[in-house]
Amino acid sequence: MMEVETSAPPRRAVPMAYGGGYVGSCNGLYPAPPSLVPGGGVAGGFYSGLERAIFWKSSHFHQQKIRGGGRWEYTFIAVDIHYLCDGTLLLPSSPAIAAATVSGMDFAELEAVEGLRWPWNAWTPSRSEAATLVVPLSVICTPLMPLADLPVLPYEPLSCSRCAAVLNPYARVDYRSALWICAFCHSKNSFPRSYAGIADHNLPAELFPTHSTVEYLLPNKNPNRNSFPSTSSFASLSFYTSSSSLSVPPAAAVSVAGPAFVFVVDVCSAEEELRALKNEILHVVAQLPENALVGLVSFGSMVWVHDLGYAQCSRVVLFRGDGELSSAKIQELLGVSHSQTPKLASSQAIQKQGYLLPVSDCEFSFSTAIEELNRFSDALPGHRASRATGAAVSTSVALLESYSPNSGGRVMVFTSGLATTGPGMVAEIELSRPIRTNREIVSDSASFHEKARNFYQKIAQRLLNRSFVLDLFACSLDQVGAAEMRFPIEASGGLLILTDSFESDQFKKCLRHIFKREGTDHLDMISDARIELVTTNEVKICGALGPCASLRTKNNSVSEKEIGHGGTSSWKTCTLTTKTSIAFIFEVGNYQPNTYPGPVFFIQFKTRYLHGDGSNRLRVTTAARRWATGSRSSSEITTGFDQEAAATIMARLAVNRIENYHPREVISWLDKMLIRFTAKFGDYVPEDPSTFRLPSGFSLFPQFMYYLRRSQFIDIFSYSPDEVAFFTWTLNKENVNGSLIMIQPTLFQYSFDGPPVPVLLDIGSVSPDVILLFDSFFHVVIHYGSKIAQWRKLGYHQDPSHENLMKLIEAPEIDAGGLIVGRIPVPKLIRCDQHGSQARFLLARLNPSATQKFHAGDPSRVIFTDDVSLQDFLEHLQALAVQG
């Protein structure tokens, strides 16, 4: 087995009293001051974020010393800057960049401050050296991650006139000349008149060193760069930056149309399923704000668009399901009126038609239409039901395009079977013709797969053009065609939910999650999000992996190499949640020795979106990291390695490759990458595997790769195409913690010996007298040992004299409920006994340290598999790594 080396933890910066942040540790790197006067003075020149922090701290504690004799002590870890302690600053001999060390901090703590996870927290500026790192230079960004004390500023951002980077704490400021120098392109920019009162003691929030992330409340119009409202004086800026609790002025001054929802219902579902679905739709519609727009489309072999504004009787417009109509033709057949002005067209259309109406105007007619939906299936014996899913989706998008041209909307599809007719069909109607499998898709022999994908790619473009979202709720024991629909769902940021029944709690919780309202009059729903990256000249953008689409906006920061959604510096997604994560891949310039750039580099993430309250907002996160150069470059790179984030990046790259390569080739690619990785960072004597060691910060990475190779993301032939699409969609949007659970599930043991403890994900952890709680993100399994299961069946846990057994059985139930709460998609809770059929959900993911080929001891604790164990895998890896 591998042995690891441990090293003493580095020293950490102590939290500063001012602003509640960490100078040089939480917020990354700050440019060092050219000159400082200890005790509270600043001598001329440009002032940086670090300089302001030290100045404020110095002044604050200087007064305390005089009054109470207090002592100022804290440690600052920097590059080319000596320690600052006891009120004394040891100045560097030359201008330098102060940089926080991230080695001594929990990477999750950094993520809580920045909303970012970096596999490498120190980058090499050489492209050839970066290639040897194996794991690409990348950042996993959660654009709208909830952050503590996030300032929301009621004015527009001040942007660089050259590179469009927003003013941030890393900019250098000349207060006398009212100029600021951009940290990205080093261009000089003038402050507008509204910043006339700026000074070192009177700063806007975006220059606070603790505010590397700020959010701007924009006016409901197209923002004009560097323009400020005439009513925004510097006094108001001072108020919002000096207040400890930043308040946001109400955005209700502007009338905002509500979001639009089109419910697309499959009427070929079974009676019980359709009844449960109708009840749930009525429940969520009753919770909608009165200004929300709703529409109803039902489909079988035909598509019915329900007229909710016709009071005399139930009225629908019928479309054939076996044909593909253009959006303009659908709108013409619906009799939709148009106007040259989009906003006027929207208001006039809503007034003149009844297909999409505010809830306040159509609640009764909508409820009546839902209740009148009955099962309608023309399936003959030996045939599948005829479903025109693609035609229904296209018609629903056309409906939204007519009445909500510039506002967000959702097309929510509820189905329980395959599309068998019309555009997007994935199977023939005869049951004798089998559904496509992953092997057929990989070998390009699936009859309808490629044609259906092309159809839904066109749907995706229409969704992105109008910022609409496509959601799919597939409740069936069979496939429904989710594999073909994944692209528009993922590109628009929608939900892809696979469950067994519309009566399940999984379905109900996922649907209600979309319509949640936490103490507000509006839905907690984000629309029309655009993400733009600004980088320093040395950093190039290769692409993004996640629920977004490229806007193809190229500039000097875009690399010629494309990975995922590449060839751009900006992306669009029609909706975001507070947990949506996107991985951005970078590369560096090909610099030669002695021509390296400065000590640090910067990346700025700008996310513009429409808030649920109708306000336009812009969140700006500016991050900085150190270049690893010189004699200490290797140790800096090693110290800043985040193996959890690295495993997440490799998983996303692997599922991206599996779209175009055979799974065996992807496994071979993973193995080669891992061998190169361990050969580079391991410490060993060549040709001697027994001497192999990995640093402590790298020791878990090979284990992550082992479980990734055996996961549902790579072993796709054990799952249906719809399941693989669901797994891939979930991984691509989830953050590091969630992704890591998917890669290597967690396992806890409950016994009479004490509180629950984490145990190895190994067959050896299965025992007759313990309960195991297994979490693979998609499934939460409570596994009862054979003895515990027998006692439970005999009812011993209900006997007051066996209270300890009752508590033992209750404990994992309570913890399982805690795992499920708040997770979307909601995992399936499985309770099983040892040797039971449902135990396969646990056994399939355990390390097969004892198999049918080799085992010692209890023969019941054996996994029947041909897979190698983790120990054998690591031994082979060590042998290959030391070969050089």
Domain boundaries, the chain: 3-105, 260-514
pLDDT tens track for 509-528: 999 999 988 777 888 899 99
| Block residue for tokens 């700050």 | 30
pLDDT class of 405 with cuts at 50, 70, 90: low
pLDDT at 256 over 80: no
Spatial distance between the Cα atoms of 670 and 651, rounded to a whole number of angstroms: 9
Instruction: Return mean pLDDT, the chain.
Output: 83
> Distances from the Cα of 617 to the Cαs of 205, 220, 257, 614, 700, in angstroms?
16, 9, 17, 9, 40
CB atoms within 10 A of CB 872: 13
Question: Within 13 Å and on the Cβ side, how many CA atoms surround 547?
Answer: 33
* Structural tokens at position 229: 């409202």
- Cα separations in angstroms, 566 against 560, 658, 757: 9, 17, 44
Residue 606 to residue 620: CA distance in whole angstroms: 5
**Average pLDDT of span 678-707:** 95
Q: What is the pLDDT of residue 311?
A: 76
Q: Which of 216-220, 378-382, 721-725 has the highest mean pLDDT?
A: 721-725
The answer to whether the beta carbons of residues 46 and 174 sit under 8 Å apart is yes
Q: Calculate what percentage of the chain has a pLDDT beyond 90.
A: 68
pLDDT at 629: 82
Upper half-sphere CA count for residue 662 (Cβ side, 13 Å): 7
Q: Please choose, from the candidates 152, 155, 184, 154, the residue with its C-alpha nearest in 3D space to the C-alpha of residue 168.
A: 184
Residue written as token pair 């003038």: 190
Helix axes 271-286, 505-514, angle to 10 degrees: 30
pLDDT band of 352, cuts 50, 70, 90: low
Amino acid at 515: F
Say if CB 280 and CB 502 are below 8 A apart: yes
CA dist 306 and 317 (Å) reads 7
Show Cβ contacts of residue 574 under 8 Å, excluding neighbours closer than 6 positions.
Answer: 408, 463, 464, 467, 468, 469, 492, 493, 494, 527, 528, 529
Q: Which helix (H) or strand (E) holds 97?
A: strand 97-99
Residue 48: its H or E element: none
Query: Who contacts 878 (Cβ-Cβ below 8 Å, separation ≥6)?
Result: 2, 678, 682, 684, 689, 692
Q: Report the distance separating Cα 862 and Cα 679, nearest Å.
A: 33
Which residues, 6 or more positions from 601, have their beta carbon under 8 angstroms from its beta carbon?
A: 123, 535, 536, 538, 539, 624, 625, 627
Please give the average per-residue pLDDT across 801-827, as a whole number: 94
Which of the residue ranges 98-112, 351-365, 388-402 has the most confident prediction, judged by mean pLDDT?
388-402
Structure tokens at 724: 């693989």
| Spatial CB neighbours of 579, under 8 Å, sequence gap ≥ 6 | 142, 145, 733, 734, 735, 738, 824
323 DSSP 8-state letter: S
- Helices 643-657 and 736-743: crossing angle in degrees, nearest 10, is 70
Give the type of residue at 615: S
**Which pLDDT does position 142 carry in this prediction?**
97
d(CA 149, CA 140): 22
Beta-strand relationship, 172-174 and 260-266: unpaired
pLDDT at 464 over 70: yes
pLDDT of residue 614: 87
64 band by pLDDT with thresholds 50, 70 and 90:
very low
Summarize pLDDT for 765-788 with one digit per residue, the tens.
999 999 999 999 999 999 999 999
Q: Hey, what amino acid is at 185?
A: C
pTM: 0.85
CA distances from 148 to 115, 244, 616, 738 (A): 11, 12, 21, 21
Q: Is the dihedral of CA 515, 517, 521, 523 positive or negative?
A: negative
pLDDT score at 519: 74
In one letter, which amino acid is 399?
L
Contact 395, 263 (CB under 8 A): no
Domain 260-514 in CATH 2.60.120.200? The answer is no
pLDDT of residue 826: 95
Rounded to an integer, the average pLDDT of 75-82 is: 28
